[in-house]
Amino acid sequence: MDETAQTPTTRRIRVLVAYDGTEYHGWQVQPGFATIQGVLEEIISGIEGSPVHVAGSGRTDAGVHALAQVAAFTLKNPIPPWNLRKAINRLLPPAIRINTVEEVHADFHPRFDSVAKTYRYTFHRTEIVPPMDARYVHHHPYALNEEWMREAAGRFVGTHDFRPFAAKDERYIRGQSTVRTIFSSDLHREGDRLIYTVRGSGFLKHMVRNIAGTLIECGRGNLPHNMLPRKSGQTAPARGLTLVSVEY
């Protein structure tokens, strides 16, 4: 045995991932389904030559997109970050891309270390959706009072119990906190699109999609726009939702 041989040191790697979630069953690995985490783990494990767990900043739902999902994993492979990015992207399907790769401290965790996330939900308001946009917007051409919707959006700012806006989940039934802080919550027009942008300390399962559905009901006059609604509208479709950024 060569006593001078050195054991490879481990490195904690943080990556910024963009993806079109249309064909994927969300972020989290699920047996029998194609997921973003599953694809990344398969490819990165192949590069490493042993199983690699890829942790994400959050679990985006099936069909939800991301401009800047943050993920992290630990490697022994000495490949430089810029070459690692090339190697992963060469093997990834076109719907998933690694935009940046960097080494971080060994204890970094993309979910537990985050301090804020920003999501964007996009409604398309005209009769016809351009084919190139159809995968990324919720088509809603029906009458809405957009001023009421803007006022309702602002009511979500602050620290509240968002249980009425969360999907059913055993974690919440067992008593996990459903209190979250929303730092900003804005709705504005961009041409044919109505765009809702929300930045918060964290989000519950389906929370942003339920808020988007609630804004529709406020725009219809079915829920109050001049106070924080006490119940949710229908869950808006996943395709209109994009994770924009994660802050640390």
State the SS3 of 144-197. CCHHHHHHHHHCCCEEEECHHHCCCCHHHHCCCCCEEEEEEEEEEEECCEEEEE
The confidence score (pLDDT) of residue 62 equals 96
Share of the chain above pLDDT 70, in %: 97
Query: How high is the pLDDT of residue 7?
Result: 59
* pLDDT score recorded for residue 205: 93
Check pLDDT > 90 for residue 161. Answer: yes
* Per-residue tokens: 179: 């209190």
pLDDT at residue number 175: 77
What per-residue confidence (pLDDT) applies to 168? 83
Can 161 be counted among the known catalytic residues?
Answer: no
- What pLDDT, in 10s, does the model give residues 3-24? 445 556 999 999 999 999 999 9
Distance CA 37, CA 17 (A): 10
The string of pLDDT tens digits covering residues 114-143 is 999 999 999 999 999 999 999 999 999 999
Domains in the chain with CATH codes: 11-104 (3.30.70.580), 116-247 (3.30.70.660)
Q: What's the rounded mean pLDDT across residues 183-191?
A: 98
- Residue 44 has a pLDDT of 98
Pick the more confident residue, 245 or 9.
245
Mean pLDDT of the chain: 95
pLDDT beyond 90 at 171: no
Please, which residues have CB within 8 angstroms of residue 216's CB and are 6 or more apart in sequence?
A: 123, 140, 144, 149, 233, 234, 236
| For residue 2, pLDDT beyond 60 | no
In which band, very low, low, confident or very high, does the pLDDT at 174 lie, cut at 50, 70 and 90?
A: confident
Region 205-215: mean pLDDT is 97
pLDDT at position 169: 79
Cα dihedral: 23, 74, 70, 38 (round 10)? 10
Report how far residue 35's alpha carbon sits from residue 166's, in angstroms, rounded to the nearest whole number.
22
Judge contact between 47 and 79, C-beta under 8 A. yes
d(C-alpha 53, C-alpha 12), whole Å: 11
Query: What is the C-alpha end-to-end distance of the chain, expressed in Å?
Result: 44
Query: What is the rounded distance in angstroms from the CA atom of residue 120 to the CA atom of residue 81?
Result: 29
Residues paired with residue 65 on neighbouring β-strands, in sequence order: 242
pLDDT given at position 176: 87
Instruction: Choose, from 2, 61, 113, 192, the residue flagged as catalytic.
Output: 61
Quick: pLDDT tens for 31-74.
Answer: 999 999 999 999 999 999 999 999 999 999 999 999 999 999 99
